[in-house]
Amino acid sequence: MSGTGVDHPTSHTSAAGDINEPAELDVVVIGAGLAGLRAATALTEAGRDVIVVESRDRVGGRVWSHAFDDGQWAERGAEFIDAAHTEVLALAAELGLSTATVLIGRDDRTSLLDVGGRPAPLTLHHSLAGDLARWQAALDGLADRVGTGDPVDAIGAEELDDATLADLLRRLDLGVMARVAIGRDVRTEYMVGPEQVSQLMAGWMTSLHRSSGEGYESMRIERGNDQLANGLADRLGQRIQLGRSVTSIDPEAGLVTLTNGAVLRARHLIVTLPLPALGRVWAAMPAELAAVGYGIGGKVSVQFSRRIWNDYGRDGSVRSERAWGELWEATDGQNGDAGVLTALLSSNDGAALVALPDTVGRIVDEIERIFPGAKGLAGQRARTDWTNDHASLGTYATFGPGQLLKAWPCLQRRYGRMVLAGEHTDRWAGYMEGALRSGARAAAHVLRQDIV
């Protein structure tokens, strides 16, 4: 097996003696998010030579924690861990990381629904509970049809794949408050509107949520989820090459070109890029993959010197019909008087808002409207726009109508020397769990290929 250097096309002579041929590496992993890091550590532990090429100057990809000066933290990307995220929890335990319990958003008396400029506790909207129960029953019906197996094996998969959540909502004929609350929940979950989510996707995701029961979105990693990535990266050391952006790949030949013109050649490529980013470097990417929908938007987190929302008897959770979408406290359970509210800006209007230069000021103004006095307490802030981030170009895969059945086989197959990994390729799509599982699966695939 070859070494781990980056080769320039003209700088090496191959074993066969051809000038201009880069030396052949064993495995090149593209992307140092959880999928790439998991694949690389599994292969390294199996004795293989691996390099990981990453365009950013940090590992973790869409897992990126923000530390405030006083030690509090918030998540710019992946935040919540479910009880059924067994790979995430196993990795946390292996790395000696503790989980923090999520305390907010569980009580309808302390969560607000902001409609028509008037925020009120969910319990005050009398028609809401019945409508929400009907909606949940409809989602459960979809989940029953999808079950816990592969989503493409769902009962009536084609019919579900073609229909949207908007179709389902129309059939239920819900009241106005429920339409606001559910519309917001759909956008928070999928980062796009209900017309862009297939019923197959929704049944699949509901079935995954149900597998955690009360443990759905119940944990975060103490001091930041990005320690999961950093812990894996520590095991890889110099094998990770940061700040190296891939500009093109040739899966058949196993070639990878970097921005500086260097070319790598490998027996195996594991490519973990989100599909919109992958489409920019893989000229022959199948149309079925190019068509897969992605959520759009980002997050804004603002630290307040005091948790003023508690003064109003609230836990900081707000769902709004306005473009900023949804708010929650990111620091529940964390030490200190200060507290951080995170706004999740999702779908078309949220994605447009988070891209504006004065987004944070606008959100602080909205928080002031809901919790008067907050503005004077606002301090440090972090804004993250995942849609305009060149290495993501979106938040995570959300399969729209007609997309999942066509894309699924293309996500699982091998292309010449390349296998795909990343959250979008896994049953736990859209989650850290999916990223880790996909990386392990890609590594196992490479190891199997080499058994003669």
Q: What gap in Å lies between CA 265 and CA 261, rounded to an integer?
A: 13
Restricted to residues 194-233, the positions that interact with ligand FAD (CB under 6 A) are none
* Interface with ligand FAD (CB under 6 A), residue from 230, 245, 257, 380: 245
Please report whether residue 55 would count as binding ligand FAD according to CB under 6 A. Answer: yes
Q: Which residues pair with 320 in a beta bridge?
A: 114
Please report whether residue 437 would count as binding ligand FAD according to CB under 6 A. Answer: no
Minimum distance from residue 17 beta carbon to ligand FAD (Å): 31
Which tokens go with 359?
């987004």
* Interface with ligand FAD (CB under 6 A), residue from 246, 407, 418, 440: 246
Restricted to residues 255-274, the positions that interact with ligand FAD (CB under 6 A) are 272-274
Residues 6+ apart with CB under 8 A from 113: 119, 120, 121, 122, 125, 128, 177, 180, 181, 318, 319, 320
Please report whether residue 53 would count as binding ligand FAD according to CB under 6 A. Answer: yes
Which tokens go with 90?
């196993």
* Interface with ligand FAD (CB under 6 A), residue from 7, 21, 54, 329: 54
The interface region with ligand FAD, picked from 31-39, 141-149, 230-238, 440-448 by CB under 6 A, is 31-39
The interface region with ligand FAD, picked from 73-81, 94-102, 198-206, 314-322 by CB under 6 A, is 73-81
Question: Interface mask (CB under 6 A) for ligand FAD, residues 349-388, using x and -?
Answer: -------------------------------------x--
Minimum distance from residue 155 beta carbon to ligand FAD (Å): 27
CA atoms within 13 A on the CB side of 119: 24
Please report whether residue 172 would count as binding ligand FAD according to CB under 6 A. Answer: no
Given the DSSP bridges, would you call strands 118-121 and 112-115 parallel, antiparallel or unpaired? antiparallel
* 50 Ramachandran zone, left/alpha/beta (phi>0; psi -120 to 50): beta
Please report whether residue 289 would count as binding ligand FAD according to CB under 6 A. Answer: no
Q: Where are the alpha helices (DSSP H) in 152-272?
A: 157-162, 165-172, 176-190, 199-210, 226-236
Question: Interface mask (CB under 6 A) for ligand FAD, residues 383-422, using x and -?
Answer: ---x----xx--xx-------------------------x
Which tokens go with 198?
């297939």
Please report whether residue 61 would count as binding ligand FAD according to CB under 6 A. Answer: yes
Please report whether residue 78 would count as binding ligand FAD according to CB under 6 A. Answer: yes
Minimum distance from residue 16 beta carbon to ligand FAD (Å): 28
Minimum distance from residue 75 beta carbon to ligand FAD (Å): 7
Please report whether residue 430 would count as binding ligand FAD according to CB under 6 A. Answer: yes
Minimum distance from residue 278 beta carbon to ligand FAD (Å): 8
Residue closer to ligand FAD, measured from CB, 105 or 274: 274
* Interface with ligand FAD (CB under 6 A), residue from 27, 28, 29, 32: 32
Which tokens go with 86?
């067994």
* Interface with ligand FAD (CB under 6 A), residue from 27, 43, 51, 63: 63
Q: What is the DSSP string of 52-95?
A: EE-SSSSS-TT--EEE-TTS-EEESS---B-TT-HHHHHHHHHT
Residue closer to ligand FAD, measured from CB, 115 or 420: 420
Please report whether residue 301 would count as binding ligand FAD according to CB under 6 A. Answer: no
How many residues in total does the chain contain? 452
- By the 8 A CB rule, do 411 and 212 touch? no
* Sign for the pseudo-dihedral over CA of 160, 164, 167, 169: positive
The interface region with ligand FAD, picked from 15-23, 301-309, 372-380, 424-432 by CB under 6 A, is 424-432
Q: What gap in Å lies between CA 173 and CA 176, rounded to an integer?
A: 9
Query: Would you call 417 exposed, middle or buried from its count of C-beta atoms within 10 A (0-12, 13-18, 19+)?
Result: buried
Residue closer to ligand FAD, measured from CB, 182 or 345: 345
Residue closer to ligand FAD, measured from CB, 36 or 128: 36
Q: What gap in Å lies between CA 22 and CA 281, rounded to an integer?
A: 19
- C-alpha dist (Å) from residue 21 to 14, 144, 196, 245, 253: 6, 54, 45, 20, 11
Residue closer to ligand FAD, measured from CB, 178 or 421: 421
Cα 345 from chain centre: 14
Q: What gap in Å lies between CA 91 and CA 228, rounded to an integer?
A: 7
Under the rule (CB under 6 A), what is the footprint of ligand FAD? 30-36, 53-56, 61-63, 77-80, 245-246, 272-274, 277, 281, 299, 386, 391-392, 395-396, 422-423, 430-435
